[in-house]
């Protein structure tokens, strides 16, 4: 079991959605929080809610795609707080476009925040956990780290990469006292679709339609997602699936690894074939 009470927990992408809910849930369990995001107003609101329940929190304006900034953040945590105990790499963004329309700039934008931000956060804080001989690293992947969907090549690439990196790290940390978890949320009621980048030629007409469609499909609240994540941390679960949809898709992928698309997607559905199901905008 991972002890939460009194521990210092780092949460990126904490200005809204899953990040905010997880930070608040950790505070309820007695953790001290150090939270980050690029959304100054949202970050302040999260801190206000944590303080309202008697929690301890420090906020950091941080772009997780900036490696030097992430390492400076980790150094400040070590100097000011004695090092992290729990690290939750949650910050994420989405890009909705078919592969032939996807620009390199947009692809790199997603990978730098979703994947490299997670790598930087892990490597910057891992020495602190190793020095203590204990701790927990939690990397947030997605339902789309289990299956691939049309119009989500960049997001799928990042979330599959997070899964692979996290599973490799878990094997490496065996016997060290450091637990490692990969989170796969299904449809969570966050603003990630509204904050996503769309193909510029269709952005104005598609964004609200996509967001509304996602809202209809998203069944799990961020608060429920936060509860599941924190419970998974306490129980040292290597994989944390959130929502009935994530659990069903996980089984479907195992049963039909090469043909699940025949059941899930229709060509004429276009960009709405699949929408990202987790995370919080970091920009």
Note if 104 is an active site residue.
Answer: no
With cut-offs at 50, 70 and 90, classify the pLDDT of residue 206: low
- Contact between 44 and 95 (Cβ < 8 Å): no
- Contact between 34 and 57 (Cβ < 8 Å): yes
Mean pLDDT for the stretch of residues 79-93: 97
- Contact between 229 and 138 (Cβ < 8 Å): yes
- Contact between 91 and 9 (Cβ < 8 Å): no
pLDDT of residue 105: 94
- Contact between 191 and 148 (Cβ < 8 Å): no
Instruction: State pTM to two decimals.
Output: 0.85
pLDDT above 50 for 215: no
Name the token pair of 265: 């997607």
Which percentage of the chain shows pLDDT scores above 70? Answer: 82
pLDDT in tens, 218-248: 467 899 999 999 999 999 999 999 988 888 8
Q: What's the length of the chain?
A: 283
Which percentage of the chain shows pLDDT scores above 90? Answer: 68
pLDDT in tens, 104-135: 999 999 999 999 999 999 999 999 999 999 99
Annotated catalytic residue: which of 60, 104, 120, 155? Answer: 155
Q: Which of 126, 27, 116, 26 is nearest to 74 (CA)?
A: 126
pLDDT in tens, 242-270: 988 888 888 888 888 888 888 777 543 44
């Amino acid at each position: 079991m991972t002890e939460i009470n009194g521990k210092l927990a780092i949460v990126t992408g904490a200005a809204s959605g899953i990040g905010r809910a997880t930070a608040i849930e950790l505070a309820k369990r007695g953790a001290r929080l150090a939270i980050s995001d690029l959304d100054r107003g949202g970050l302040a609101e999260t801190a206000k809610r944590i303080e309202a329940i008697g929690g301890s929190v420090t906020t950091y304006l941080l772009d997780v795609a900036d490696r030097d900034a992430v390492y400076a953040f980790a150094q400040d945590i070590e100097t000011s707080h004695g090092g992290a105990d729990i690290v939750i790499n949650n910050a994420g963004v989405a890009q909705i476009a078919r592969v032939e329309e996807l620009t390199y700039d947009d692809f790199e934008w997603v990978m730098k925040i979703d994947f490299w931000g997670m790598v930087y956060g892990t490597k910057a804080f891992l020495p602190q956990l190793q020095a203590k001989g204990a701790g927990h690293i939690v990397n947030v992947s997605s339902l789309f780290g289990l299956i691939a969907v049309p119009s989500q090549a960049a997001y799928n690439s990042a979330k599959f990469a997070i899964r692979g990196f996290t599973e490799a790290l878990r094997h490496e940390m065996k016997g060290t006292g450091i637990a490692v978890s990969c989170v796969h949320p299904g449809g969570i009621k966050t603003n990630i679709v509204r904050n996503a980048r769309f193909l510029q030629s269709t952005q104005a007409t598609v964004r609200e339609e996509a967001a509304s469609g996602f809202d209809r499909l998203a069944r799990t609240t961020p608060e429920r997602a936060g509860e599941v994540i924190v419970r998974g941390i306490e129980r040292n679960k290597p994989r944390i699936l959130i929502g009935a949809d994530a659990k069903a898709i996980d089984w479907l992928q195992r049963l039909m690894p090469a043909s699940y698309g025949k059941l899930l997607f229709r060509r004429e559905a276009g960009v709405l074939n699949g929408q990202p199901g987790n995370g919080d905008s970091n920009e």
